[in-house]
Amino acid sequence: MNRLTNTTSFLDTLAGFFAQALGRPSFALCDNFFTAGGDSLGAADVLNCVDEAFGVELKFRDILEAPTPLRFALTILRARARAAGRDLASELSELSTEDASRLLAHLQGAQP
């Protein structure tokens, strides 16, 4: 399984996939992909990028249910944890401190 830490943060990389699928230079972590003009082809692009970058094969319904980069990040982490027989905390421990803080703030309902 690929590690989630590298020179670019996990969340920034994921937001970049959303931006690329929409043909934009950037995409906010709390923005909804479909509200921003995303469609099924763009979602397929995001899913392919996630599979290649993070080793997680997700379904279209996953991005429908979690259409923001923050929510989708949690979907990715949960899928990775299930596949490895681990818990979400183990996946969070592989993130940079900044990414883990942003995700934990999101889980607690605070704005990152």
- CA dihedral of residues 91, 95, 101, 103 (deg, nearest 10): -50
Query: Is 4 inside a domain boundary?
Result: no
- CATH code of 72's domain: 1.10.1200.10
**Number of domains within the chain:** 1
Task: Say if 64 falls within a structural domain.
Answer: yes
The string of pLDDT tens digits covering residues 11-60 is 999 999 999 999 999 999 999 999 999 999 999 999 999 999 999 999 99
The domain of 53 spans 10-107
Q: Is residue 1 part of a domain?
A: no
| Sign of the four-CA dihedral 35, 106, 15, 17 | negative
User: Could you tell me if residue 85 is inside a domain?
Assistant: yes
In-domain check, residue 5: no
Instruction: Give the closest residue to 9 by CA, choosing from 85, 112, 77, 97.
Output: 97
pLDDT at residue 4 in the model: 54
Q: What is the pTM of this model?
A: 0.88
- Do 18 and 69 touch, CB atoms closer than 8 A? yes
In a domain, 3, yes or no: no
Confidence of residue 82 (pLDDT cuts 50, 70, 90): very high
